[in-house]
């Protein structure tokens, strides 16, 4: 897949899809809470709020790529591809896991559900680790200055 200079559209479309997923969760899901046990502390969060947070993050990433495109910054194409593949691929992998969870919701026990939650956390960790690539790429683009397109 060839990524063009208008990479921001991928992030904006992903943000819209995250928003649609969040609305679907809000409307149709009876269990909309996520519980994470960390040592002796339980963290409870609403799935809709988490999806809206990710929607804003992806909108912001798209906006920053758009600003970089408008300012004609020379971003490293390899770092841009790696960041985009990991960020958007992580959302796609997480969506696939959520579909598997919805299909098997009635048949799986708590052990399998916790395994699915672990995979979701691993994907989230991978996506979070990829975000410094964006910061590095944007910083190097700013230092290189403007280029011609």
Q: pLDDT (tens digit, 9 = 90+) per residue, 59-90?
A: 999 999 999 888 888 888 899 999 999 999 99
Q: Do residues 131 and 57 make contact, with C-beta atoms less than 8 angstroms apart?
A: no
Work out the angle at residue 120's Cα, subtended by the Cα atoms of residues 90 and 19, and round it to the nearest 5 degrees. 60
Query: Residue ranges of the domains in the chain?
Result: 8-144
> 110 is written with which tokens?
């708590």
Q: Does 5 or 40 have the greater pLDDT score?
A: 40
pLDDT tens digits, residue range 87-128? 999 988 888 887 777 676 655 554 456 677 778 788 888 888
Instruction: Report the distance separating Cα 111 and Cα 116, nearest Å.
Output: 9
Cβ proximity of 99 and 125 under 8 Å? no
Residue 3: pLDDT band with limits 50, 70, 90? low
């Amino acid at each position: 897949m060839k990524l063009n200079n208008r990479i921001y559209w991928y992030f904006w479309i992903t943000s819209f899809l995250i928003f649609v997923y969040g609305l679907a969760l809000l409307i149709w899901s009876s269990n909309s809470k996520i519980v994470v046990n960390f040592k002796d502390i339980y963290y409870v969060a609403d799935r809709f709020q988490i999806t809206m947070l990710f929607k804003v993050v992806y909108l912001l990433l798209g906006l920053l790529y758009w600003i970089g495109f408008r300012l004609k910054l020379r971003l490293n194409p390899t770092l841009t591809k790696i960041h985009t593949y990991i960020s958007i691929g992580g959302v796609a992998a997480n969506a696939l896991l959520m579909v598997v969870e919805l299909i098997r919701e009635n048949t799986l026990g708590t052990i399998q559900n916790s395994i699915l939650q672990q995979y979701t956390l691993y994907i989230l960790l991978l996506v979070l680790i990829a975000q410094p690539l964006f910061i590095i790429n944007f910083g190097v683009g700013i230092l290189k200055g403007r280029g011609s397109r």
